[in-house]
Structure 1
C-alpha cells in the first residue's frame, strides 16, 4: 500500500513512518518545501512531496497516486487554529476526493460523552469539526480519538514532565482536576492503532484508543513523580480557572504557550474511551502499555544509537528530529 503521511516531521508522524516501512508499505511524506531536511533516520527511505496544506494545487498533487492518507495536521500553536484547521481539512477533503484516494485516517482527541458542544473547549470542538469535514468525503474516513499520548516529545507528556520538574516540593492542583479522569495511551500503541486503521480500508466513523489505565490527573502526576523518584506534595487549590492554569503551565514549560493553553482547557472533562477500537481493529498485537511503563520508557535520555523514530527502536524514546523544547 502507498500511504501519504501528512505531518511526517511531527511527533506522531515521525514515528508512524518507520512503522509503515517495517510493514512493507511505501510512504510518501510531505513537507512545506518538499525536502527531507530532518534528523529522522528514515528520511532517505521515503518519497518527499511539497505540500502547503492551504494550497489546493499542492495538496492535490501530493495525494496523487496514494492509496491512503494519514491526516496528522493539528494547529494548536496558532491563535487562529480553529479556522486554519477547518480550512486545511476542507482542502484535504477536496483533494482526496478528486484523486480517488480510497481511505483516510485522522488522529483526533477523545470527546467527553454527553457533554454539549458549547461546553467543550475550542480544542475539542475544532477536532470534532475537522472530523465532520473529513467524514463527509466520498471515500472512507476513519477517526481515531486519543487523550494524552505518552512519549518523549509528545506535547501532552512534556507538559506533565516539565511542570513536575520545574515546581519544586509543592505542586498546586486545582480542585476541579481532582475528580476528572483520563485514559492515556502510549505512543507505541497509538502508532500500532494508526497502522491497523490505515490497513482497514472501508472502515468508517470514529473509534476511541486508550491504554489500560484510567487515572485522575493528580494520580497521573503522582505516578510520574514516583517513576522519576522526586518528591512533590500536592496542594489543592479551591479556585483556579482553566484559563489561568493554562497561562501558568505555559509559562513554566518550553512547550508553545498556545498549545499548552488549548490542552489545559480540555482537562475539565473525563477523557476516557467509550467506542473501543479493539472491537473493530483488533488488538495491536501485544499487551497495551500502561502509564508507569510508558513513563519509564519515555524518560530515558537521548541516545543517537537508539533514536525513537528509527525502524526497530522504541518510539517512546527521544528522537533527533523532535522539537528542541522537548529535550
Structure 2
C-alpha cells in the first residue's frame, strides 16, 4: 500500500514511518520547507513538498496514494485554530480528488464537555476531526492524551520541568485531581499503522496505555524512574494563564506550544473507546507508564552505539538524531547558563 504521512518529520510521524516500512508499505513523506535528512529512513521514502494551507499543493502532494495519515497540528501559531481548520478542509477535499481509500487522523482525547469549557487546543482537535470526517473515503480518528517517548513535546515538558523545578515541585490545585491515561509512542505508532490497514473501522477510537493515574502520580512515576528526589506541593492560587507562561519560560519547548497545551491539563484525559478492543493489542501487549519512561530515559542522546529511535530496527521510545534541538538532554547548569545568555 502507498501511504502518505502528512507531518512525517514531526515526532509521531518520525516513529510511524519506520513502522510502515517494517510492514512493507511504500511511504510518501511530506515536508513544508525542505526534506529532513536527519532521520535514518529519509532515503527510503518519497519526499513531496506540501503547504497544507494551499488546496492545490495538497492535491498534488497526495496524488497516487492509497491511504493518508494526517499528523499536522499548528499549536505554535497564535491563529492555529483557523489554520488547522483550513488545512483539514484541504486534506479532506484532496483525499476524495486523488481517490484515497483511507484517512487516519491522530488527535487528542476530547473530554465530554460543552465546547465553551474546552481549551482551544482540544476544541481545535475536535474541529479538525469533524472536518476530516467529511472526506469521501473511510476515515478514522485515533485520539490520545500524553504520548510518552524521548522527543515527544508533552514528555519533554514533563522531563524538563521535573529536572529544573528542584526538589519541591509546585502543582496547581486545578491540575492535581485530573486523571490521565498516557500511551507509549511505540504503541501509538503500532495502532496508527494498524488503523491504516483496517479501512472497515471508522469513527473514533482512543489510543491509551494500560495505566490510569493522576498527574501527580505521573510526576512521581517519572521522578522515580529518573532517580530524582521530588516532593509535590499543591498551590491553590495558580491561574492557568500564569502557569502556562511560567512553564513556557522554564522549558526549551517553544513557549507558544507549551502555553497552548497547559490549559488541557485541567481535564481528565482517559479513554472511553479503547482502540485495543477493536484493533487488538500490540505484540507483547501495551507498555505501562513506568516502563515507557524508563525506555525513554535509557539513553539521553541518539548515537553512542544505541540504535536511533526513528530507525527501522530502533526503539521508538528512544531519541533520534532528527528530533528538534529543544529535546536534547541538558543539565540544569547548562540550562541556567544558556538562559542567562538568552539561549
Query: TM-score scaled by structure 1?
Result: 0.97
Of 306-315 and 279-288, deviating more is 279-288
Match in the other structure for 2:16: 16
Question: Does the 8 A contact of 1:189 with 1:284 survive in 2?
Answer: yes
Shift of 1:303: 3.3
Match in the other structure for 1:273: 271
Match in the other structure for 1:292: 290
The answer for unaligned runs of 5 or more in structure 2 is: 329-343
Match in the other structure for 1:109: 108
Match in the other structure for 1:38: 37
Residue 201 of structure 1 aligns to a residue whose secondary structure is coil
Residue 75 of structure 1 aligns to a residue whose secondary structure is coil
- The runs of 4+ residues in structure 1 deviating greater than 6 Å are none
Match in the other structure for 1:208: 206
CA distance in 2, matches of 1:201, 1:207: 13
Question: Does the 8 A contact of 2:30 with 2:61 survive in 1?
Answer: yes
Match in the other structure for 1:165: 163
CA distance in 1, matches of 2:172, 2:13: 33
Query: TM-score scaled by structure 2?
Result: 0.93
2:253 is aligned, of 247, 252, 255, to: 255
CA offsets per residue over residues 212-263 of structure 1, 9 Å max, x none? 1111111111111111111112111112121111111111000011111111
Residue 171 of structure 2 aligns to a residue whose secondary structure is strand
RMSD, aligned CA: 1.0
Question: Does the 8 A contact of 1:142 with 1:203 survive in 2?
Answer: yes
CA distance in 2, matches of 1:286, 1:192: 12
Match in the other structure for 1:240: 238
Match in the other structure for 2:318: 317
Match in the other structure for 1:27: 27
1:126 is aligned, of 124, 134, 137, to: 124
Match in the other structure for 1:176: 174
